């Protein structure tokens, strides 16, 4: 057992020169991972829906058709209509644009602030690190969704504020993640060597450290998009996220609640859309982790 | 060995393969050797040659869903490989026990030393909780741990590496096994501690009829403890000889290389094998012919084509090398 | 052990200060006059003035913060603009419901999640493992509020087995608990599986096998105890998600808890209540993580003896 271990370890030891070969190994592993494949296919469908909504659905998803309100699925309305007679299929398709926009925006905010701050915190250590860590402690003292709620309470409702609120609630997660990775990479011989030979800090961070913390960041980005969709739908459901008439999955569910008694389809389909979108990011994230970042858990 | 004595353990044609994503790796490929009652057998080779896997195969400690084991492991008239899992379980730790290489990771961090020793006593010797605990203290005393009655209640992280290896030895000895596999018992330790552990093992060996299979890459340790040596390379036995003969008259070029790389007999430094050029071949891509030929200084044409068969000179001497035929 | 406890207790102080600081500035980040904000849109100018002098809003910021802390210590969180009741009273009325729901959910999550994870890890790549893996992946991908609605449609409206909402008997507790626990069950199962898989490949597990111990004993005594250490941390962190999920679950099932209170207050712009209830959630979460640290120390002798 020990003997075999030694051989396999030699193959993917992570010195600088090995980054390329280990990432190509990762791609090979990713392709073999059926879960990631399924996730990738779902994600592709999701993106096609988001970009192709006007092509896939002719007509206005916000146009009411009161005569046909709360119609169950039929030939004209494949997934039925909501309380104003709007096509649920159309609103789900257009809703995929909104949720994809939110997911990208939220993760963008998280990455934009979280990654640089995490790099600085982990690389420089000392007082900078201490202050940044106390700040993240403060943000992490609130459960993520509640932090987003509190921020929405301050900023107000709407698409932009939903993105900012959830984005801010994700920043500390990225800071922690990146900082933790930097701390381990910082002690590697090649970083020590670069520092000893007088390489500029900025150069060391960008050329030596960032490439080595990329894998966990990518994994977290995929999983984070799923969380962002869930959070945004949650805010929409509570009526404090994206506001109607913008078609948003969460708010569709929120208004469907009043009619679920006799018309369960109104609440069923938007929920399935959220579920599949989140599932695709989770499947992909799991696959990416198994392939590129096998050491980390969850 | 002594004429007419039946071997305690007899391994015949042992072949162990691992199924990995990259393909099937045959870590042990047709290994045979005997272990006689009361003797210490050295099983020698570089890391990756399959010596640990041999021991783990005998005890059936490898994950059955990822490995296949062929051949026979005859112990006490039974083939261990065909025993049902429950029978095998009762042999492990009772009649055959094992000492592992890494004392730092081989003890459970959240159980006390006493608990870890006494649980096998409760299982195999059917002792009560209190009796087993007392025996555990006794065992710590036997492996020369100072103030055993205090140490018995401590957790492994409080002990030094040498102490932990003593605990491992106490654990392995606790149920009076007839055979112990000691897998690199000193490799992970400091030089001075290594000597102490070897001395302890020798001391314990004297008073008992237990056989030891000493797995090591350190020929110094072998010279000190073993009476007979089996040399392995890339999953096969390449040479076997009584220890004195091996040191004076090694036949296989690999064994010769190993011997040359020992700094001083009974050396004071970890053995480095850098006198043999090259590295152990990747088990996925074994060279054709004799697996040692790419590193051998005396390669002939035939070595690249066919792998040599074992030549037995007498009961205790054999070698698998094309050169060996000419010698005798 | 005592050192560890003290260290943990001391580490909480900056976190608590951080929580209060954040909430203190939350109100002041809002556009407009904080006194007006706290009093609510409908308040008369006299009420606004009263709040201004009461809270010392004409004083410098650091004095305002000090008096904010002082009022906190005396459990004075101000008045609700909506009901004119003291905020603390509003919170007290709902907090027990939220705690009851959360405890039921976390208990259920552990009772189902941990064994599921163990079974999956012990037989990796078997059908049980696939079942647990897929079910837990579904669990973490499902929006809790949607699950709640679906359960309600099935069990309350169609089958009429369980009440659709409100509070009262143990039957009222079932659907909200299942809904809230779903995510955490899934998460704990995943975590337990990966933690167990890692522990089962450790050297000391091979040692235990080499002693001939029964496989069940190895799993429970040698592996699970070690695997639990990271799981405990996760359960603590998951409690945060649980509290977030409680907001949604309480809304779905009309469960009169703190989460509902926050949502209602956000919709009504009742900032004193928002501030107070988020503060309580933050404290609750910090407290849970402290308890987790203590359990941690209890399980892991390496911490206990430091």
Supply B163's token pair: 């102490």
Q: Do A275 and C142 touch (CB under 8 A)?
A: yes
Is residue B263 very low, low, confident or very high in pLDDT (cuts 50, 70, 90)? low
CA C121 to chain A, closest CA, distance in angstroms equals 14
* Digit-coded pLDDT (tens) for B107-140: 999 899 999 999 999 999 898 999 999 999 999 9
Q: Which residue of C has its CA nearest to B102?
A: C203
Q: Is residue C189 part of a domain?
A: yes
CATH of the domain at C170: 1.10.3720.10
CA C196 to chain B, closest CA, distance in angstroms equals 14
Alpha-carbon gap, residue A275 to A239, rounded angstroms = 19
Q: What average pLDDT does this structure show over A10-23?
A: 43
When mean pLDDT is compared across A24-33, A93-102, C62-71, C170-179, the lowest value belongs to A24-33
DSSP states of A197-265 as a string?
Answer: TT--HHHIIIIIIHHHHHHHHHHHHHHHHHHHHHHHHHHHHHTSSSPTTS--HHHHHHHHGGGTTT-HH
Q: What average pLDDT does this structure show over C172-200?
A: 91
* Digit-coded pLDDT (tens) for A47-89: 998 888 888 777 777 777 777 777 778 777 777 777 777 888 8
Enumerate the residues of chain B whose CB falls inside 8 A of the CB of residue A8: 20
Which percentage of chain B shows pLDDT scores above 70? 93
Q: Is residue C27 part of a domain?
A: no
CA B160 to chain C, closest CA, distance in angstroms equals 14
Q: Which residues contact A30 (CB under 8 A, 6 or more apart)?
A: A36, A287, A288, A290, A291, A292
User: Is A13 near chain B, with CB under 8 Å?
Assistant: no
CA C240 to chain A, closest CA, distance in angstroms equals 4
Q: Do A3 and B18 touch (CB under 8 A)?
A: no
When mean pLDDT is compared across A8-17, A124-133, B150-159, the lowest value belongs to A8-17
**Predicted structure pTM score:** 0.83
User: Is C203 near chain B, with CB under 8 Å?
Assistant: yes
Q: Is residue C237 part of a domain?
A: yes
Q: Which chains touch C (3 or more CB pairs under 8 A)?
A: A, B
Q: Mapping DSSP to helix (H, G, I), strand (E, B) and coil, where does residue B108 land?
A: coil
Residue A136, pLDDT > 50, answer yes
Residue A298, pLDDT > 80, answer no
Q: Is B6 exposed, middle or buried (0-12, 13-18, 19+ CB in 10 A)?
A: exposed
User: Is C226 near chain B, with CB under 8 Å?
Assistant: yes
User: Is A4 near chain B, with CB under 8 Å?
Assistant: yes
Q: Is residue C77 part of a domain?
A: no
Contact predicate A187/A208, CB 8 Å: no
Q: Do B119 and C213 touch (CB under 8 A)?
A: yes
Q: Which residue of C has its CA nearest to B158?
A: C302
Is residue A273 very low, low, confident or very high in pLDDT (cuts 50, 70, 90)? very high
Is residue A35 very low, low, confident or very high in pLDDT (cuts 50, 70, 90)? confident
Q: Do A283 and C137 touch (CB under 8 A)?
A: yes
Residue B265, pLDDT > 60, answer no
Interface test with C, best of A136, A144, A146 (most C CBs within 10 A): A146
* Digit-coded pLDDT (tens) for B217-233: 888 888 888 999 999 98
**pLDDT averaged over chain C?**
86
* Phi, psi angle pair for B315, to nearest 5°: -60, -30
Alpha-carbon gap, residue C156 to C153, rounded angstroms = 6
Nearest to B157 among C208, C210, C302 (CB): C302
Q: Is C17 exposed, middle or buried (0-12, 13-18, 19+ CB in 10 A)?
A: middle
Nearest to C22 among A138, A267, A268 (CB): A138
pLDDT of residue B275: 61
Q: Do C203 and B106 touch (CB under 8 A)?
A: yes
Q: What average pLDDT does this structure show over A125-152?
A: 88
Complete domains list, chain A, with CATH: 2-11+27-58+78-292 (1.10.3720.10)
Residue A161, pLDDT > 70, answer yes
When mean pLDDT is compared across A160-169, A289-298, C101-110, the lowest value belongs to A289-298
Higher-pLDDT residue of B274 and B100 is: B100
pLDDT of residue A10: 34
Alpha-carbon distances, residue C115 vs A79, C105, C108, C134, C202 (angstroms): 39, 16, 11, 16, 20
Nearest to B48 among A3, A29, A32 (CB): A3
Residue B264, pLDDT > 80, answer no
Interface test with B, best of C203, C209, C212, C299 (most B CBs within 10 A): C212
Residue C145, pLDDT > 60, answer yes
Q: Is residue C76 part of a domain?
A: no
Enumerate the residues of chain C whose CB falls inside 8 A of the CB of residue B100: 203, 206-207, 210
Nearest to A4 among B21, B25, B101 (CB): B25
Nearest to A298 among C15, C190, C252 (CB): C190
Residue C306, pLDDT > 60, answer no
CA C297 to chain B, closest CA, distance in angstroms equals 11
pLDDT of residue B122: 92
When mean pLDDT is compared across A43-52, A243-252, A287-296, B51-60, the lowest value belongs to A287-296
Enumerate the residues of chain A whose CB falls inside 8 A of the CB of residue C143: 230, 233-234, 237, 250, 253, 271, 274-275, 278
Q: What average pLDDT does this structure show over B43-47?
A: 87
Alpha-carbon gap, residue B316 to A11, rounded angstroms = 38
Residue A13, pLDDT > 50, answer no
Q: Which residue of A has its CA nearest to C194?
A: A297
Higher-pLDDT residue of B120 and C27 is: B120
Q: What average pLDDT does this structure show over C1-15?
A: 80
pLDDT of residue A2: 35
pLDDT of residue A294: 64
**A245 preceded by a cis bond (ω within 30 of 0):** yes
**pLDDT averaged over chain B?**
85
Residue B270, pLDDT > 60, answer no
* Digit-coded pLDDT (tens) for C231-259: 888 788 888 888 889 999 999 998 999 99
When mean pLDDT is compared across A98-112, B183-197, C89-103, the lowest value belongs to B183-197
Which percentage of chain B shows pLDDT scores above 90? 35
pLDDT of residue B181: 93
Is residue C14 very low, low, confident or very high in pLDDT (cuts 50, 70, 90)? confident
pLDDT of residue A7: 32
Q: Mapping DSSP to helix (H, G, I), strand (E, B) and coil, where does residue B237 land?
A: strand
Is residue A23 very low, low, confident or very high in pLDDT (cuts 50, 70, 90)? low
Alpha-carbon gap, residue C289 to C236, rounded angstroms = 5
Q: Do A234 and C230 touch (CB under 8 A)?
A: no
* Digit-coded pLDDT (tens) for A204-228: 888 888 888 888 898 889 999 999 9
When mean pLDDT is compared across B29-38, C105-114, C266-275, the lowest value belongs to C266-275
Q: Is B167 exposed, middle or buried (0-12, 13-18, 19+ CB in 10 A)?
A: buried
Residue B214, pLDDT > 90, answer yes
Alpha-carbon gap, residue A5 to B206, rounded angstroms = 35
pLDDT of residue A17: 37
Q: Is residue C46 part of a domain?
A: no
Residue A170, pLDDT > 90, answer yes
Alpha-carbon gap, residue B256 to B269, rounded angstroms = 19
Q: What average pLDDT does this structure show over C262-279?
A: 88
The count of domains in chain C is: 1
Helices (H), chain A: 2-11, 19-32, 34-56, 88-124, 126-140, 144-155, 159-186, 189-196, 201-203, 210-238, 249-256, 264-292
Q: Which chains touch A (3 or more CB pairs under 8 A)?
A: B, C
Q: Do C212 and B108 touch (CB under 8 A)?
A: no
Supply C304's token pair: 């206990």
Q: How many CB pairs under 8 A join B and C?
A: 75
Alpha-carbon gap, residue A176 to A130, rounded angstroms = 12
Tokens 């858990």 correspond to: A297
Domain hosting residue C194, numbered range: 87-299
Nearest to B155 among C206, C213, C301 (CB): C301
Is residue A22 very low, low, confident or very high in pLDDT (cuts 50, 70, 90)? low
Higher-pLDDT residue of B55 and A86 is: B55
pLDDT of residue C157: 82
Enumerate the residues of chain C whose CB falls inside 8 A of the CB of residue A177: none
Enumerate the residues of chain B whose CB falls inside 8 A of the CB of residue A7: 48, 282-283
Helix H or strand E segment including B96: strand B96-99
Is residue C304 very low, low, confident or very high in pLDDT (cuts 50, 70, 90)? low
Q: Is residue C155 part of a domain?
A: yes
Q: State whether ipTM is beyond 0.90.
A: no
Enumerate the residues of chain B whose CB falls inside 8 A of the CB of residue C302: 109-110, 155, 157
Interface test with A, best of B18, B28, B48 (most A CBs within 10 A): B48
User: Is B53 near chain A, with CB under 8 Å?
Assistant: yes
pLDDT of residue A4: 33
Interface test with A, best of B26, B47, B57, B63 (most A CBs within 10 A): B47
DSSP states of C91-111 as a string?
Answer: HHHHHHHHHHHHHHHHHHHHH
SS3 per residue for B49-95: CCHHHHHHHHCCCCCCCCEEEEEEEEECCEEHHHCCHHHHHHHECCC
Is residue B104 very low, low, confident or very high in pLDDT (cuts 50, 70, 90)? confident
Q: Is residue C212 part of a domain?
A: yes
Residue A97, pLDDT > 80, answer yes
CB neighbour burial string for B245-274, b if at least 16 within 10 angstroms, e if fewer: bbbeebbbbbbbbbeeebeeeebeeebebe
Highest mean pLDDT among B288-297, C67-76, C133-142: C133-142
Q: Do A7 and B283 touch (CB under 8 A)?
A: yes
Residue A30, pLDDT > 80, answer no
Alpha-carbon gap, residue B287 to C217, rounded angstroms = 44
CA A277 to chain C, closest CA, distance in angstroms equals 8
Q: B 166-195 residues with CB below 8 A of C?
A: 168, 171
User: Is B81 near chain A, with CB under 8 Å?
Assistant: no
Residue B244, pLDDT > 80, answer yes
pLDDT of residue A9: 32
Interface test with C, best of B108, B159, B175 (most C CBs within 10 A): B108
């Amino acid at each position: 057992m020990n003997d075999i271990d030694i051989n396999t370890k030699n193959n993917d030891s992570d010195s600088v020169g090995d980054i390329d070969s280990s990432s190509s190994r990762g791609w090979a592993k990713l392709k073999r991972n059926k879960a990631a494949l399924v996730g990738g296919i779902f994600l592709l469908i999701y993106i096609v829906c988001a970009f192709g909504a006007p092509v896939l659905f002719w007509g206005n998803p916000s146009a009411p058709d009161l005569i046909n309100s709360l119609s169950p699925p039929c030939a004209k309305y494949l997934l039925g209509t909501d309380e104003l007679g709007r096509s649920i299929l159309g609103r789900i398709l257009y809703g995929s644009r909104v949720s994809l926009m939110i997911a990208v925006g939220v993760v963008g905010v998280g990455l934009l602030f979280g990654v640089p701050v995490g790099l600085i915190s982990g690389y420089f250590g000392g007082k900078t690190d201490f202050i940044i860590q106390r700040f993240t402690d403060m943000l992490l003292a609130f459960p993520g969704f509640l932090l987003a709620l509190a921020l929405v309470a301050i900023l107000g409702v709407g698409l932009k504020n939903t993105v900012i609120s959830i984005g801010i609630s994700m920043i500390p997660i990225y800071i922690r993640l990146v900082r933790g990775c930097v701390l381990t990479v910082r002690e590697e011989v090649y970083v020590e060597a670069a520092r000893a030979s007088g390489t500029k800090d900025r150069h060391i961070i960008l050329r030596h450290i960032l490439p080595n913390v990329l894998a966990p960041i990518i994994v977290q980005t995929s999983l984070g998009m799923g969380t962002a969709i869930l959070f945004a739908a949650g805010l929409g459901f509570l009526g404090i996220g994206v506001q109607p008439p913008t078609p948003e999955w969460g708010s569709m569910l929120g208004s469907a609640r009043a009619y679920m008694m006799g018309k369960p389809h109104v609440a069923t389909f938007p929920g399935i859309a959220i579920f599949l979108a989140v599932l695709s990011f989770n499947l992909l994230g799991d696959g990416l982790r198994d392939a590129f970042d096998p050491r980390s858990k969850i | 060995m002594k004429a007419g004595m039946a071997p305690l353990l007899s391994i015949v044609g042992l072949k162990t393969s691992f199924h990995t994503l990259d393909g099937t790796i045959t870590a042990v490929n047709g290994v045979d050797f005997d272990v006689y009652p009361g003797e210490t057998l050295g099983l020698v080779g570089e890391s990756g040659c399959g010596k640990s896997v041999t021991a783990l195969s005998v005890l059936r400690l490898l994950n059955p869903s990822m490995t296949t084991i062929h051949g026979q492991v005859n112990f006490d008239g039974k083939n261990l490989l065909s025993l049902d899992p429950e029978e095998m379980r009762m042999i492990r730790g009772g009649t055959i026990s094992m000492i592992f290489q890494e004392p730092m990771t081989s003890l459970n961090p959240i159980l006390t030393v006493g608990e870890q020793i006494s649980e096998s006593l409760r299982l195999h010797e059917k002792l009560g909780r209190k009796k087993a605990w007392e025996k555990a203290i006794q065992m710590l005393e036997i492996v020369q741990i100072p103030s055993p009655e205090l140490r018995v209640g401590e957790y492994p992280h409080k002990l030094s590496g040498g102490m932990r290896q003593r605990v491992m030895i106490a654990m392995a000895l606790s149920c009076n096994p007839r055979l112990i596999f000691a897998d690199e018992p000193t490799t992970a330790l400091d030089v001075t501690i290594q000597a102490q552990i070897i001395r302890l093992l020798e001391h314990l060996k004297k008073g008992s009829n237990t056989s030891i299979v000493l797995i090591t890459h350190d020929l110094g340790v072998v010279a000190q403890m073993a009476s007979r040596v089996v040399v392995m390379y890339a999953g096969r036995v390449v040479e076997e000889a009584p220890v004195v003969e091996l040191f004076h008259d090694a036949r296989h070029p690999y064994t010769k290389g190993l011997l040359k790389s020992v700094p001083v007999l009974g050396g004071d430094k970890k053995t480095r094998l850098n006198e043999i050029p090259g590295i152990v071949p990747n088990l996925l891509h074994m060279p054709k012919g004799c697996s040692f030929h790419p590193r051998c200084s005396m390669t002939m044409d035939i070595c690249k084509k066919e792998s040599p068969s074992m030549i037995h000179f007498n009961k205790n001497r054999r070698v698998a090398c094309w050169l060996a035929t000419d010698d005798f | 052990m005592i050192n560890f406890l003290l260290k943990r207790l001391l580490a909480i102080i900056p976190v608590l200060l951080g929580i209060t600081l954040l909430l203190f500035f939350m109100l002041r980040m809002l556009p407009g006059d904080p006194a007006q904000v706290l009093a609510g849109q409908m308040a008369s100018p006299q009420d606004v003035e009263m709040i201004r002098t009461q809270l010392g809003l004409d004083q410098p910021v650091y004095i305002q913060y000090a008096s904010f802390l002082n009022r906190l210590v005396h459990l004075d969180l101000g008045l609700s603009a909506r009901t004119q009741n003291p905020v603390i009273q509003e919170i007290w009325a709902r907090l027990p419901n939220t705690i009851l729901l959360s405890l039921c959910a976390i208990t259920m999550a552990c009772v189902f999640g941990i064994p599921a994870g163990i079974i999956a890890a012990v037989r990796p790549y078997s059908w049980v493992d696939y079942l647990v893996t897929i079910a837990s992946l579904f669990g973490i991908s499902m929006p809790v509020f949607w699950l709640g609605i679906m359960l309600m449609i099935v069990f309350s409206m169609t089958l009429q087995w369980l009440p659709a909402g409100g509070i009262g008997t143990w039957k009222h507790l079932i659907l909200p608990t299942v809904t809230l626990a779903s995510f955490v069950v899934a998460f704990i199962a995943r975590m337990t599986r990966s933690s167990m898989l890692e522990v089962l490949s450790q050297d000391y597990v091979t040692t235990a096998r080499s002693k001939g111990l029964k496989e069940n004993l190895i799993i429970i005594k040698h592996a699970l105890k070690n695997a639990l250490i990271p799981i405990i941390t996760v359960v603590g962190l998951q409690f945060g998600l649980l509290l977030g999920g409680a907001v949604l679950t309480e809304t779905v099932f009309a469960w009169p808890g703190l989460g509902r209170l926050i949502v209602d207050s956000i919709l009504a712009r009742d900032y004193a209540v928002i501030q107070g209830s988020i503060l309580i959630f933050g404290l609750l979460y910090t407290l849970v993580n402290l308890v987790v640290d203590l359990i941690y120390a209890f399980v892991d002798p390496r911490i206990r003896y430091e």
